Amino acid sequence: MSKTNGFTRQEIITAIKQSGPMTADSLGDELRISPVAVRQHLAALEAEGLVRTTIERRSVGRPVHRYAISAAGDETFPRAYDDLANALLDHASDTLGAEGLTKIFDRRCDRLVAQYRYRTEEKDGAGRARELAKIQAELGYMADLTENEDGTLTLTELNCAVCKVAKEHQGLCDTELRFFQEIMGKTGKVERTSHIASGDFTCSYKIKTKG
């Protein structure tokens, strides 16, 4: 039976996941839709970075284009990272105690600061705040920076990229606040004003720049 209704591009990604790199014709045969329709979906998936094209050259005839899942496409399949992270942190807490768990979070903060400081160290307070918003957006937090009437700035995160872990281990959220404070340094003061893991709609930080 032809799949003309309810067809999703995820079915193409799933077929490639199951069979390995495939041509548009073989995908059409497997999913029972026309190669033209498959190619339209593949073009969109490739534009989104979810599939990539590999070219198989033959001694006779035209090269064959095969479509494979990209690393981003592979991430569209279910993952259990949150459960694993929570289990590991629970084990660390049981083994090392609260103080040991805090040291783990502090180490994570130190690594974040070391990783991103080069993007902010030559900037003033407002510049550092803008760069923090960009960094958090890149990390999946849907972050944005706005200026308030009193001259302060608000960094707002619409998404918590580690929400399930943060709800179980809120020390992770303290790591984020400390990361912001470390990056701002003497150029600004950071205060958390809302918190997704505590039930708020967003995570928000008020930043008062100096100088």
Burial 14-37 (b: 16+ CB within 10 A, else e): ebbeeeebbbbebbbebbebeeeb
Q: Is the pLDDT of residue 25 over 60?
A: yes
More confident residue, 55 or 124: 124
What mean pLDDT is reported for the chain?
A: 89
Q: What confidence score (pLDDT) does residue 113 get?
A: 95
Half-sphere exposure of 79 (CA within 13 A, CB side): 10
For residues 6-20, give the mean pLDDT. Answer: 82
Q: What confidence score (pLDDT) does residue 148 get?
A: 95
Q: What confidence score (pLDDT) does residue 7 get?
A: 57
Q: Which residues pair with 22 in a beta bridge?
A: 67
Q: Is the pLDDT of residue 6 over 70?
A: no
pLDDT digits (tens, 9 = 90+) for 83-142: 888 899 999 989 999 899 999 999 999 999 999 999 999 999 999 999 999 999 999 899
Domains, the chain, in order of start with CATH, read 9-74 (1.10.10.10), 81-209 (3.30.1380.20)
> Rounded to the nearest 5 degrees, what angle is found at the Cα of 143, between the Cα atoms of 140 and 147?
170
Q: In the structure, what pLDDT confidence band is assigned to residue 211 with cuts at 50, 70 and 90?
A: low
Q: Is the pLDDT of residue 77 over 90?
A: no
